[in-house]
Structure 1
Amino acid sequence: MEVKKSLLKKILGLILGFGPGIFAIGYTIGTGSVTSMIVAGSTYGMQLLWVLLLSCLFSGVLMYVYGNYALISGDTALYGFKKHIKGGKLIAILIIIGISFGQWNSLMGILGISANIIFEIFAIYFPGLRGSEYEMVLGIAIVVIAIMYGLLLIGKYTFFEKILVIFVSIMGLSFLISLFMVYPLPIEVAKGLIPSIPEVKGGKMLVAAFVGTTMAAATFLSRPLFVQGKGWTKANLGQQKKDAILAAILVFTISASIMAVACGALFHQGKPVTHVLDMVSTLEPVAGKFALTLFFFGTLSAGLSSIFPCLLIAPILVADYQSGKLDTNSKQFRIITAIACLFALIVPIFGANPIEMQILSQVFNVFVLPLVIIGIMLLINNKKIMGQHKASIWINIVLVLSLLFACIISYNGIMALGAYF
């Protein structure tokens, strides 16, 4: 019994000891990511696994360099852009507008999908609820966003971190257990690592959405503030590196699991997902009620773990630009997060398709990415700021490749949006 208790304590300690990387997972794997992975897995099988792998590799390096910059310089990202880069003020303002727009759009889809999923979980066991779907979904959305806003007002980094740890742990376990019940063939996984874009309508948009959700600019820009919130200093450089690597590995593992479940359960039946309800009708016969509920709990946890960081992003970026310090008890913080909460209710109020809104919002996220990469490259190669910790040749090579990748995907996103509208 004692051995079991000490093992449980060690596991809990390991989970709770996770650093700012937990916010990276919260930002990255939300219902936007889950939706993109399910749509990709159910429509194209494992064909887009290579995009996910590259995005996670570049994300890990960007998290690492942004964290390092914060620990060495003592500054946050946008404050550093404003202070050290010519034209940095304009770059910082464009980044704030671009990321806030993308994240608030994403928030609408996240809340819509989360409310739909809670309704679907109830409807699996109480089919009589189907008659009042709109009213139920809207009511659930209002309750969820009100609870989230209430939690935000508590306003402490350690509290936010613990809430996210719970959601992310449930999410990761739910998807990994689902993977053991429904999985694709190994040959499909291997083929998915060979670069190719589906030559069908919506294929380009999904590739852009993939990168927008797994290589999210918000993840990197917010990292310096979360590193500060954790209380890390130059002495934690090694820990910061491990945290960034672990976050990137977990994002890839969880995201690939979701895609694989959708591929194994839906792709071979020729049943692509376009609505939240599609997940119910297609997964239940294959996986059964328990696996379906488990998968839904994972998706719901992904949604709830994303609402938190999405509400935080605008006040984080504004505070970063102003002073490099975030005051979660300020009037500014409360007003901006309240506006974000009201914005989030747009999709549930109008009864729009949250899956379509979610994929569109992820595409918008890629346009700021090149600016975010160029900005940090200029800072970490500045010897006056970084001293002996100036970026190595290998880090610069990966960053140049990530910039090239981001530019190609941004162009791809413009083409996709042009075709959509």
Structure 2
Amino acid sequence: MKKIIAIVLGFGPGIFAIGYTIGTGSVTSMIVAGSKFGMQLLWVLLLSCFFSGVLMFAYGNYALITGETALYGFKKHLKFGKVLAILIIVGITFGQWNSLMGILGISSNIIYEILAINYEGIVAYKYETVLAIAVLVIVIFYALMLVGKYTFFEKILVIFVTLMGLSFIISLFFVQPLPIDVVKGLIPTIPEVPGGKMLVAAFVGTTMASATFLSRPLFVKGKGWTIKNLDQQKKDSITAAILIFIISGTIMAVACGALYHQGKVVTQVLDMANTLEPVAGNLAVSIFFFGALSAGLSSIFPCLLIAPLLVADYQSGELDTNSKQFRIITAIACMVALIGPLLGTNPIQIQILSQVFNVFVLPIVVLGIILMVNNKKIMDGYKTGMAVNLGLFSAFIFSCIISYNGVLGLLEYF
């Protein structure tokens, strides 16, 4: 047990990648997809996780070799880098803050459902209770943000991500998809139904998140890694990508096994909570509840961090978590997060839409790192390998196709 705990606590900046990637956005997308289409979109998840691993590796290597962070490097070295960096900051902040509204809404609804089971009197005051829970959660997280230490954030995330992963993997023992569904899911197809294109875009938006790659140099530096840790950085990137695929695929499989063949579709938070009840009873519901809540809470930290991270990256490449700027930007993010619960909107719909918006900045983020890691002057003579370049160029083509798909999906929706 001591060895297992040491391995978990020894996990590097990849824990933030999992925190960014597998939140309620990912859980929502996976459950909705699993309930609607079974394992049909497994191929999208596999490609997204593969390209995520390549991009995490490239951004991490860039930071260790040059000593610079991503946006600061774009501004310093690229011809239109300043404009590019500002566009990226605006695009990612918009997507992540929208996502934060959905995350807080879903997490608050899950806590409300747990309370409603034990205290029936609050059912008549659902809106007020959900809003009060949302305010309490965001105030607690803002207070934790003021502690302002990388190692503290990392330990909190390790706890949430571990609980989340174990909850979903245990849930899989209650319901398993058919092996033939898993095999079919690896064959590239897009569901020819209303909302199919948008869900594919949301899938990529949540598993191949730009915020994950751009923040990696800052987290690598926060970990204290140097050019001597190149091999460790590579292993950390691969491990993070594999874990993202396993946990996300498990969630989709649970929804497929429990709901798809019964023709049940998830549209509300309670539907997510009751994913397992028909076949596994209250115990499985409690375990799944716990996993979904851990996913939400593990995402609030990174989503609150993203705007001050990107601004600090652009300004100097150094993040000061004790600065006045950090406290003000995170306070604004907290207020934005409360908009969804305040309006009483369906958090699942907000979450899917926010993930779609995330894909539009992705091609710029991929192109930026391709230009940087292939400039020998910037990389101090370090040559990026052919395999990594092939992965990066493939990721760029994939991101362009998905962004186009996202536009078509939004046009269909509106």
> Does the pair score TM above 0.5?
yes
Q: What residue is the counterpart of 1:5 in the other structure?
A: none
2:305 aligned with 1:312: yes
Distance, in Å, in 2 between the alignment partners of 1:52 and 1:384 is 35
Determine whether 1:202 maps to 2:195.
yes
Contact 1:271 1:282 (C-alpha < 8 Å) held by counterparts: no
C-alpha distance in structure 1 between counterparts of 2:120 and 2:186, whole Å? 41
Residue in structure 2 matched with residue 40 of structure 1 by the alignment: 33
Cα offset, 1:281, TM superposition = 4.5
For structure 1, which segment, 338-347 or 384-393, has the greater mean C-alpha deviation from structure 2 after superposition? 384-393
Query: Is 1:90 aligned with 2:83?
Result: yes
**2:138 maps to which residue?**
145
Report the counterpart of residue 276 of structure 1 in structure 2. Answer: 269
In the alignment, the residues of structure 1 paired with residue 147 and residue 383 of structure 2 have an alpha-carbon distance, to the nearest angstrom, of 38
The answer to whether residue 108 in structure 2 is matched with residue 115 in structure 1 is: yes
Q: CA deviation at 1:388?
A: 4.3
Indicate whether 1:345 and 2:335 are aligned: no
Q: Secondary structure at the match of 2:378?
A: helix
2:237 to 231, 244, 255: 244
Instruction: Name the CA distance, whole Å, in 1 between partners of 2:155 and 2:270.
Output: 31
State the Cα deviation string for residues 182-209 of structure 1 (Å, max 9, x = none): 1101110010000000000000000000
Instruction: For 2:185 and 2:138, locate their aligned partners in 1 and report how far apart those are by CA, in whole Å.
Output: 37
Partner of residue 175 from structure 1, selected from 149, 161, 168: 168
User: Quick check: 1:50 aligned with 2:39?
Assistant: no
Aligned partners of 2:403, 2:275: CA distance in 1, in Å? 33
> 2:98 matched to 1:105?
yes
2:119 counterpart residue number:
126
**What displacement does 1:130 show?**
1.7
**Structure-2 separation of matches of 1:35 and 1:287:** 20
* Equivalent pair of 1:52/1:210 in contact (CA under 8 Å): yes
| Residue in structure 2 matched with residue 379 of structure 1 by the alignment | 372
RMSD over aligned Cα atoms: 0.9
Equivalent position SS for 1:386: coil
Does residue 357 (structure 1) correspond to residue 350 (structure 2)? The answer is: yes
Corresponding letter in the other structure for 2:351: Q
Query: What residue in structure 2 maps to residue 4 of structure 1?
Result: none
Secondary structure at the counterpart of residue 383 of structure 1: coil
Q: What is the aligned partner in structure 1 of residue 129 from structure 2?
A: 136
Q: Which runs of 5+ in 2 are unaligned?
A: none
- Summarize deviations over 1:33-89 as a string: whole Å, max 9, x none: 000000000010000000000000000000000000000000000000011111000
Any idea what SS the aligned residue of 1:158 has?
Answer: helix
Q: 1:258 aligns with which of 247, 251, 261?
A: 251
Deviation at 1:418, TM superposition (A): 1.1
Structure 1 contact 171–302 (Cα < 8 Å) conserved:
yes
Offset, 1:282: 4.8
TM-score, normalised by the number of residues in structure 2: 0.99
**Kept after mapping to 2: 8 A contact 1:110/1:303:** yes
Name 2:2's counterpart in structure 1: 9
Q: Deviations over 1:8-55 (max 9, x none)?
A: 111110000000000000000000000000000001000000000000
Structure 1: how far apart are the matches of 2:272 and 2:228? 47
Aligned partner of residue 68 in structure 2, secondary structure: coil
Q: Is the 8 A contact 1:106 1:357 kept in 2?
A: yes
Matching of residue 67 in structure 1 with residue 60 in structure 2: yes
Residue of structure 1 equivalent to 2:153: 160
How far does the alpha carbon of each residue in 1:243-294 deviate from its partner, in whole angstroms, 9 at most, with x for none? 0000000000000000000000011111110110112445322221111011
Question: What is the letter of the counterpart of residue 106 of structure 2?
Answer: I
In structure 1, give the amino acid aligned to 2:138.
I
Structure 2 partner of 1:286: 279
- Three-state SS of the structure 1 residue aligned to 2:377 is helix
Amino acid at match of 2:238: I
Q: 2:216: which partner in 1?
A: 223
Quote the residue 2:359 is aligned against. 366
Q: Secondary structure at the match of 1:387?
A: coil
Q: Which runs of 5+ in 1 are unaligned?
A: 1-7
Partners in 2 of 1:182 and 1:389 — Cα distance? Answer: 48
Of 293, 297, 303 in structure 2, the residue corresponding to residue 300 of structure 1 is 293
CA distance in 2, matches of 1:216, 1:112: 20
Cα shift readout 1:88-133 (whole Å, capped 9, x = no counterpart): 0000000000000000000000000000011112223334432211
The superposition leaves residues 301-356 of structure 1 with CA deviations (integer Å, 9 ceiling, x where unpaired) of 00000000000000000000000000000000000000000000011011000000
| Letter paired with 1:13 | A
State the match for 1:24 in structure 2.
Answer: 17
How many residues are paired up? 414
**Conservation of the 8 A alpha-carbon contact between 2:9 and 2:158:** yes
Work out whether residues 34 and 255 of structure 1, in 8 Å CA contact, stay in contact via their aligned partners in 2.
Answer: yes
Separation of aligned partners in 2, 1:392 and 1:268: 45
